[in-house]
Every structure is written in structure tokens, then in C-alpha cells.
Chains A and B, each alone.
Chain A
Amino acid sequence: MGFIFKRVAQMVAVIIAATFLAFTAMSYLGDPLFNIVGFHASVDCDAVLAGEIEDVSGQGGTDVGDCEVVEAAREKYHLNDPLPIRYGRWVGDVVQGDLGVSFKNSMPVTTIIGNRVPKSIFLMVVAEIFALLIAVPAAIRAAYKANRVFDKSATVSSFGFISLPNFALGVILFYLFVVKWQIFPSRYEDDDFFSRLRSTVLPGMTLALPLAATYFRLLRTDLITTLQEDFVLMAKAKGLSDRWIMFRHVLRPSLFSLVTVFGLSTGGLIGGALVVEQIFVIPGVGRTFVEAVIRDDFPLVLGLVTIISSAFIAINFVVDIFYSVIDPRVSRET
């Protein structure tokens, strides 16, 4: 009970830290006003007030002065308040489930996120499943017959996949499977589960192969280390078969590094996979995020930061619990 409470408190603290940092950075590095009212913001309103220059009539056929537009926006978005108060107000809204509206098209941020996040999560799940399906059997095989032909060739190819840049792999797969053999669609289709799955296979593979290579190397090393343990010798002395020993004695205590990196990469993929989303034209979180940052779309960036950091923390929470499932010696209290 105390454990859960501690973790939730930790989670809240991290989310607050992350969003506050994002909030501050956005306020100082970008100009929120400019993004709300556009060129109106370029008028020096202090000078207008001082009577040094005249507030020419507004653009777009209205006869409202620029400074009036700016002032109205400042009022509406509380931009005159000091930063901590504005942040506090934002938090208050978030707690009530309101992430604000996008500056770009006035759509509620929750709607945009609700539209994009599932696509990225789906991509992430597919990629991780592929990666594990490739890495785990390969690592077991390689560790069982370490330094033999399979192990050596798998190790060499894993180096290849780790060092191959994502965009290169993506483009190669796209060329082969979409352009040349036309097995997969070139557009992202999202009509039903199967069309979505079909559209996600290639980008999923693009993400999965380098991941699988990393997983393979980690698990192979840990398996080989565990195979040196005394209890494996003991298991052999008990007359257990190699297969039994591998699956029932060796695999579980060898999962630590894999689980750790799995958690990190999963968390990372929730934030979208920008390059892959770009190549395969998936309207996922990654592209949305970059566009929002470029446009200084305040509410959208903050909304995404909130969602991504929460997801990251949630996944690491699951990973921590999984540690104690793998190894009963890991106490949950620590």
C-alpha cells in the first residue's frame, strides 16, 4: 500500500517537473502572443500607448486596432499574469480534463491527442512484438551454442541492424515492399483493424529490427552469464534436459537487461517515431509533436508532454513490478 502511494506521488512529481519545464521553456523561447494573434503582435503597443506611433486599423477588414486585438488575446489567455500563476491555471484545467485548444486550428488538444496517440501506441505495440519475436528465440539459440555458426552470424547481423540508420532501413523496406512488390499499401489506411495492421507492418518492422538487434545482444549476453552459474551445473547434475534447464532455469533470471531496455524503448516509442512516421506517412504523435513545437502551439505541446511523460512513468512502473516478478529477491519496497 505504501509502495503504491510512493509510486503515485513520484509519478505526479515527475509529470509536474516535466510540464513545468516545458511551460517555462515555451514561454521564454517562443512568443505565445505571436502564435495566437499573428502579425497583430508585431505592433509595439507600449509605443502606441505612449502616443509615439498610431495604432493602425486591424488587418482582415476589421477596424479593430492591432493593440486592441493583442490586449483582448492577453486578457483571454491571461498572458499578463506571472508565469507560475499561468502554470497553476493550466494545471487546474488539466485536472478537470481540459488541455486547452490548439492555437493552430482551435481544435481541443484532447481531441487531437485522442486521434494521434492510439496510432502511435498501435505502432509501438506491433514493433515491440516483432522485436521480441525475433530477438528472444535468436538469443536463446545463440547462447545455447555460443560462438558457433548461428551465434556468430546473428551477432554480426545484429551489428548491422544497430548501425543502419532508421530512415535508410525504412526507405529500403518501403522501396521493396511498397514500390517494387506492392505488398503493402503506400498510404496509411485506418478503416478497420486489418487495414491498420497492414499499414503498420512495414513501419513496425523498421522500428523492430534495430530494437530486436539490441534485445538480442542483451539477452544473449545475460543468458551466457546465467549459463555459467552453479545452479545450472546443479540442474545438469539433476539430469534435467538442456531444454528444460534453458526455459525453466536460465531464461527468467536472464531477463533483467532486456526488461529495462524494453521499458525505455517502449516509453520512447509512445512519444512517436518521427522518422518512421514521416516515411510511412502515419499521422502519429511524432509528427504532431514536431509540428506543434515548430509552430509554438503551446497547449498542444504541453498536452503531448503530459501524455508522454505519464506513459513513460507508467511503463517504468510496470517494469519495476516486473523485476520483482522475475526475481523474488527484488523487494518492492526499495
Chain B
Amino acid sequence: MSAPLVSVEDLHVSFLTEQGPVRAVDGVSFDLEPGKSIGIVGESGSGKSVTAKALMNLLPSYAQVEGSMKFDGRDLREIARKKEKHFWGVEMTMIFQDPMTSLNPVKRIGEQIAESLRVHMNRSRSEAMTEAGELLEQVGIPEPAKRLRQYPHELSGGLRQRVVIAIALACGPRLLIADEPTTALDVTVQKHILDLLDDLRKERGMSMILITHDLGVVKGRTDEIMVMYGGRTMEEAPTSTLFESDGLHPYTEALNATIPKIDTPSHTRLVPIPGKPPEIIGKIIGCPFVQRCRYSTSECLTEMPSLVEQEEGHFCACHNPVGTPEGVNAREANQNAGYTPAGLDMKEFETFVRADTGGL
């Protein structure tokens, strides 16, 4: 095992609000080796984007960050404090969800790619422009010379996201963070963009953090998957291990049930997860998912399960993981009682049961 490129340990991010500090990220740790990729999965509000922004030093000034973030052994917060000029944008970059808004509408595509090269790599205007053209070609944009002179609104969504990727790759980063890179795109375009990111990553030996709410996006793509909920890591495993089952954690299982699969019969109803992600103000006791979980026991209300290795390389933070005797018992007990210890009506899951059998 080589030394990790990115090493995050016990990261906490909270935002100071009038109601008190909102804990967006609450003790997240992960390592990422050079050339490897990790998928961070969770609903909006689960803390995945905040984790990425913390790494990129993009959090607003009222965010409080604790814990350690290292890049190639160097402390990221130290780099931020020293206001190092050629780190972000060079060593690590990030692309965002919506290519419609992440490009400056009043600047030509060419300038927007070339400016990173001019600022960080000391290229002249014309050198930078030539390189920008080459980058456009690498991300599969036809007629790069013409595109360089166009404005973002003259391009389709898919092309724009390719431009965004070209910008991110301009200075040859070692880490690319992609925050929901395909969420705003058409389904047909999504696959092209994800394949492109995969190819570029392999070509360049780059590491990647792929953030998504859609387990289907990371399935079979990233080396590892980390499922986040309420600012915490719920489950973490190599992708192949995780997808051997539908996940050990009830949340992962529930997320899985929301994805349409190719082999499910048509007209099978997808199962929503009842409730919505919590906004965690102040200190919480117990598991953040308990309000929406059908495997919950009274223990879940009072004690936060810690992240334990359930099987080789497969970590899960749950008192009653799916498929274990505890899990089966808890679910049966809740089913018989009609509601969970957290007061959730089990009828909410009825659609779930139907889809479950339909899928089998």
C-alpha cells in the first residue's frame, strides 16, 4: 500500500448560524491513494460537498473547520494559511454540478481555459491559447479552434461540462474533485462525461473524488465508495465489495432501492426514503438516520454506532446492519410493532416491500 495522496482524519465542519452551530461534517476520515478514485455518496445535506469544499479551501469564512486534511503529506490548512499561490488549481482542482453556471457567461471559452495556464504556469497569452486548444481536443470537443472563440451560452450542456473539465485539467492536477459532475446533464450525456473522466484519470494517473447522490453513477467506476449521511460516514468499502450485497447499512440499502435497475421489470415503483436529511444543530446523540430507518432499535436513539470493520475492508456504522441477525431481528420486531422506536410508521415502507419482491 503506497502512501496516500489525500488523507482526511476526523474532519469536522460546522457553520455558525443564529440557531447555533450547524454540523455539516461530523468526524469524517478517509484516505485516497495516488491514481485511485473514491465515490462519496449521499443525499443533499449529507455533508459530501462541504467535505470537498473544505479540501479545496472554498468554505466561507464563517465555517469552522477542525481535524486534519493532508495532501501528499502536507497540511492543507497550513497551505491555506500561507496563501500559497500555485496550489489549488494546480495540484488539485474541482468541477461543479452545473456547467451552465460554473462558466463565466461573459468570457470566451479560450480565455477561461488559458487564464489558469497564464496565472500558474507563466505561459504567454498565445502559448496558453494553443494549449487550451489541445485541452479541448483531449476532452473530446470537435473544432477546438472555433470553440475557443465562443462564449459558454453558444455550447450545449455536455460540451460545457467538457470545457469545465478541460479547465480543471489545464495545470495537470494530481487530484480532481468532481462534485455531481453529471447531475445537471441529460442521461445520454451523463455516461459520456463519466467515461471521459474515467479515461482521463487513467491516462494521467490522477486521483479522483467523485461526489454524487446517485449510487448508480459510482457503481463500477470508482475504486472505493463512502456513503455519507448527516455529516458522518455510514459505510465505506471497495466498490466491488459494497455491491456484492445492496450494502450493509440500512441507508445504503435504501439509496440502492431508489435507483432504477436494468433488470427490474417495468412499472416497478421506486422506493423513496421517508423523511428528509436532518439539519444537525448542536450535539446529537444517537444515529442521525434513526428517524428514517426501519432497522432501528432503542439503542439507535441513544448511541451513535461507530464505524466498524464488518468484513475485510468493509466498514459500516450501524448497530443492526442489513443481513446480520441483529438487523433481521430489529426489522421483524419493528414490522410486528407497526412502527419503529423512533416513531416511524412501518407502513411508509410498504411500497418498498412490493418493489423488493418485484425486483427479485
Contact = CB atoms under 8 A, between A and B. Distances in A.
Contact of B102 (A234, A252, A327, A329): A234
Interface string B89-116: 1100111101001111111000000011
For B87, B90, B101, B168, which residue has the most chain A Cβ atoms within 10 angstroms? B101
Interface string A247-281: 01100110000000000000000000000000000
Contacts of B96: 230, 233-234, 237
B16 interface: no
A240 B104 contact: no
B105 A327 contact: yes
A90 B104 CA distance: 52
Contact of A237 (B58, B98, B105, B119): B58
A239 B106 contact: no
Interface in B64-99: 85-90, 93-96, 98
A331 B56 CA distance: 37
Contacts of A237: 56, 58, 88-89, 93-96, 168
B102 A244 contact: no
A234 B103 contact: yes
A11 to B, nearest CB: 28
A236 B58 contact: yes
A-B pairs, 10 with minimum CB distance: A239-B89, A230-B101, A239-B88, A238-B89, A234-B102, A237-B94, A231-B104, A230-B102, A328-B151, A238-B116
Interface in B131-154: 151, 153
Contact of A230 (B90, B98, B107, B120): B98
A237 B116 CA distance: 10
B254 interface: no
Contacts of A327: 105-106
Contacts of B25: none
B104 A244 contact: no
A234 B99 CA distance: 10
B164 interface: yes
Interface of B: 56, 58, 85-90, 93-96, 98, 101-107, 115-116, 119-120, 151, 153, 164, 167-168
Nearest to A329: B153
A252 to B, nearest CB: 5
Contacts of B89: 237-240
Contacts of B119: 238-241, 244
Nearest to B113: A238
A238 B101 contact: no
B98 to A, nearest CB: 6
Given A230-B96, A236-B58, 19 more contacts: A230-B102, A231-B101, A231-B102, A233-B58, A233-B96, A234-B95, A236-B88, A237-B88, A237-B94, A237-B95, A238-B93, A238-B167, A239-B86, A239-B88, A239-B89, A239-B120, A253-B106, A329-B105, A329-B151
Contacts, number: 77
A71 B98 CA distance: 78
14 contacts: A230-B96, A230-B98, A231-B102, A231-B103, A236-B58, A237-B56, A237-B88, A237-B93, A237-B96, A238-B89, A238-B93, A238-B116, A249-B104, A329-B151
Interface of A: 229-231, 233-241, 244, 248-249, 252-253, 326-329
A207 to B, nearest CB: 31
Contacts of B56: 236-237
A1 B96 CA distance: 41
Given A230-B101, A238-B89, A248 B106 contact: no
B183 to A, nearest CB: 13
Contact of B90 (A231, A236, A239): A239
Contacts of B153: 328-329
A240 B167 CA distance: 12
A239 B94 CA distance: 10
A75 to B, nearest CB: 62
Contacts of A231: 101-105
B87 A239 contact: yes
A249 B347 CA distance: 52
A328 B109 CA distance: 12
Contacts of A253: 104-106
A329 B88 CA distance: 30
A253 to B, nearest CB: 5
Contacts of A234: 95-96, 102-103, 164, 167
Contacts of A329: 105-106, 151, 153
Contacts of B107: 248-249
A230 B105 CA distance: 11
A233 B151 CA distance: 19
Given A234-B164, A252-B106, A329-B151, A229 B101 contact: yes
Contact of A233 (B102, B105, B115): B102
A233 B104 CA distance: 11
Contacts of B58: 233, 236-237
B339 to A, nearest CB: 42
A328 B86 CA distance: 31
Nearest to B98: A230
Nearest to B89: A239
A240 B115 contact: yes
Contacts of A235: 104
A239 B167 CA distance: 11
Contacts of B164: 234
B349 to A, nearest CB: 37
User: Which of A230, A239, A327 has its CB near the most chain B CB atoms (within 10 A)?
Assistant: A239
